[in-house]
Amino acid sequence: MTHKILGQLDERPTRSALFHALRVLSVAAVACAVPVAAQAQAFQVAKETVQVHGFFQQGYMLSRGNNVLTVDSTGGGSSAMTDGGVNMSSQLNTKLRVGAQLYGRNIGQLGNGHVGLDWAFADYRFNKWIGIRAGKVKNALGLYTDTQDMEFLQTFALLPQGVYPLDLRSVTIAHVGGDVYGTLAARRAGSLNYTVYAGSIPDDARGGYRYGIEDRGLRNDDGVKRSGYGFDLRWTAPVNGLQAGYSRLSMTGSGVLLSKQVPFPLQATVDPWTEDRVYADYQKAQWHFSGEWRRAFSTVSIQPTRSITISDARSWYLTGAYRVGKALELGAYYSHYIPDSRTDSSSPTNHVNGPAVTARFDLNRYVAVKVEGHHVDGYGGVGANAQNFYIRNNPGGFTTTTNMFVLRTSVSF
């Protein structure tokens, strides 16, 4: 399988490709040379200890077939794959904790280098059964939504894109509002962690959802206004290393669309806009397995044209990884995505499927380098249903398959 994925990319990498790959590796070399700088920092503010942590990720992507994730990854490939964040937190007393994080990315056209407030909240835990959070809070949705940016924690350079599309990060990443959470424990039945939340869902003018709309010749200048609620139930089994859970996010949204073909503004309303996930994770010794199923359903009505569009997307993945030694972990997954389950999924316009294989090298406790190959069949939907593949940097149309090589270095402290 490794030969199938990596061997089809190109027989001979160009000098440009080699240069960009070496650039990514040089980030790791510099980071390894100064391990002290990669350590977490702490300082005092008004007698309170403030912890400072951060992460930086630099990648390189080379593909044959289609450009992926708005990155011009064909030809000589591209190193336009950078993101990072810095956060500060403080435990003010035994019950109250506060924190905030700045995050920015420049992945193809995603983010465009903009740095913004990723999360900021106050967390008060009354006891192990109940606590509250308020502010801008990451959503508890599936296994990795709240940690998907922390690439240094993951085996893979790219999480399974059928469920965690890098370009649609902003759609489900966080809410501005409040959470109630806690842990309910039963000695023989394990424990149940719950989170219930509600609030407004921030928009992202530099994200894939907006780009998909623009690729259809539409424009949205004022953003998409969304609000909703959700919950996550995560069971930690009495079997060591086993977790399973169910998440649901329910939203409504609205926005004004402008088109050169229509002389008046169009009012778009999304109601309902829901996402359901079922997931499981198991770790034992050097082995790590996980899987997740997702359904994303939405109904979009546009006035005054009275048009209605229904989308019922389904996706899932299975992953497996083995820690060979302290410095090396090998992993693989299969990702499956259908933009609209109500129609024929055999068409390349209605599926994005394929395997990926990964080797992760931990150069030290702060620096990891990942080498990953993908074979992708199909290119999925376009417009508002676009995911991974965009007309804007595939103007000649799409090929039915894409082979992709990803090299990614992460530094954390």
Question: If residue 15 lies in a helix (H) or strand (E), which one and from where to where?
Answer: helix 15-33
pLDDT tens digit sequence for 343-387: 889 999 999 999 999 999 999 999 999 999 999 999 987 655 678
Please, are residues 98 and 123 in contact by the beta-carbon 8 Å criterion? yes
* SS3 label, residue 169: helix
pLDDT of 214 reads 85
Residue 22, pLDDT > 50, answer no
Q: Is 291 exposed, middle or buried (CB count within 10 Å of its CB: 0-12, 13-18, 19+)?
A: buried
- How far CA 160 is from CA of 96, 108, 222, 317, 346, in Å, comes to 35, 19, 31, 7, 20
Extract the runs of DSSP E, i.e. beta strands, from 77-173.
81-91, 96-107, 115-127, 130-138
- How far CA 55 is from CA of 26, 142, 224, 255, 367, in Å, comes to 16, 22, 29, 34, 10
pLDDT of 129 reads 96
pLDDT tens digit sequence for 178-224: 999 999 998 789 999 999 999 999 988 888 878 888 888 888 888 88
pLDDT of 45 reads 63
Residue 25, pLDDT > 70, answer no
Rounded to whole angstroms, how far apart are CA atoms 177 and 132?
11
Measured at the CA of 136, the angle between CA 38 and CA 315, to 5 degrees, comes to 85
Rounded to whole angstroms, how far apart are CA atoms 397 and 392?
10
Residue 8, pLDDT > 60, answer no
Nearest C-alpha neighbor of 351 from the set 329, 334, 363: 334
pLDDT of 2 reads 44
Q: For residue 262, give every residue at least 6 positions away whose Cβ sits within 8 Å of its Cβ, in sequence order, or none.
A: 305
Residue 159, pLDDT > 90, answer yes
Q: For residue 258, give every residue at least 6 positions away whose Cβ sits within 8 Å of its Cβ, in sequence order, or none.
A: 218, 219, 220, 221, 265, 266
Q: Per-residue confidence at 10, pLDDT binned at 50, 70, 90?
A: very low
pLDDT tens digit sequence for 118-140: 999 999 999 999 999 999 999 99
In whole numbers, what is the pLDDT of the chain averaged over residues?
Answer: 88
Residue 19, pLDDT > 60, answer no
Residue 176, pLDDT > 80, answer yes
Query: What domains are there in the chain, each with its CATH number?
Result: 2-37+55-229+327-412 (2.40.160)
pLDDT tens digit sequence for 273-325: 999 999 999 999 999 999 999 999 999 999 998 889 898 999 999 999 999 99
